[in-house]
Amino acid sequence: MAIAPPILQAGDTVGLVTLGSPLSAETIDSRIEVLQGSGFNVIIGNHVYDQDGFLAGTNEERASDLMSMFENEEVRLILATRGGTGVAGILPYLDYDVIRNNPKIVSGYSDITILLNVLYQYADLITLQSLMLIDFAPQTPAYNFDQFYNATSTLQLQRQITNPPSIPQISRIQGNVTGPIVGGNLASFMDTIGTPYEIDVRDKILLLEETHEPTNTIYRYLNHLLLANKLQECAGIVMGECTGCIEAYGVSYQQLIEEVIVPLGKPLMTNVTTAHGIYKAAIPIGATVNLNTYENTLTVIEPTVSAEQ
């Protein structure tokens, strides 16, 4: 049984970490003001502002920031500033026993989804593909905050993951399956295939999404997952958006789904708003969900946070 971290409440402390690529100090500071204005205390990791090319410090430095937040009793939410690249590099430097014994809400997407899935697999921790620090901005849609706080600040036994009303979720292959949901960004998972941190999708609901890649690259990723037997092993598939993805050789993202995913015959829902899109559903990695494409529903069937001890 996966561990649900303690609930997030007004006045709690948020620990900020930069685990992949750097974010400008101006952006970090402006977003911290929004967090503080929302009633949270903020603790900043030692290397949050670091910039070393396309990484925010060394693998060891970024990992030490994350571990310090798990070890800090005051911190309730660990929030990544952004994704980018390089998150896989910190994985060997984490103490998964310490993490398991000090559960916190961990939220992010993009390259952060590597960490989210590894924390579930190695530390039994439910994590959240949802907002990062960069999203705490006035222009962020209310839907995104509603999704985030419903997942982190309520003890709902069942929570429907639904798109905004104007954007339909589309059930393509009928079925009704239940299991933990895992997955996230396609490009990021290619970093872990063939390593000790490879994603385990057996009997699980697999979520996939991508951003700003041409469709021939998306095909390469999907074919890699086929060759690694990942698409065959999962119980059902949820396809998120491919935001900013351009057609290659006249082939669209939807055609890829039709040609690669649909023939698998697994329960399939598409067009779910999450991660890189304007609208971001909160997906609890490691939590048990029900994918019912007869009813066109994706339902989290356990609380993703626990009552305060």
| Catalytic positions | 110, 209, 276
C-alpha–C-alpha distance, residues 306 and 5, integer Å: 6
C-alpha–C-alpha distance, residues 255 and 155, integer Å: 39
User: Could you tell me if 163 and 273 are in contact, meaning their C-beta atoms sit under 8 angstroms apart?
Assistant: yes
- Alpha helices (runs of H) in the chain, residue ranges in sequence order: 25-37, 59-71, 96-101, 112-123, 142-152, 186-189, 215-227, 230-233, 253-256
Handedness of CA 242, 217, 17, 46 (dihedral sign): negative
Written as six digits, the tokens of 245 are 């993805």
Amino acid at the residue 190:
M
C-alpha–C-alpha distance, residues 205 and 287, integer Å: 10
Residue with tokens 């969900």: 289
Alpha-carbon dihedral of residues 289, 290, 293, 298, nearest 10 degrees? -40
SS3 of 49, please?
coil
CB neighbours of residue 125 within 10 Å: 25
Amino acid at the residue 102:
N
Taking 3-state DSSP, the helix, strand and coil percentages for the chain, each rounded to the nearest 5, stand at 30, 25, 40
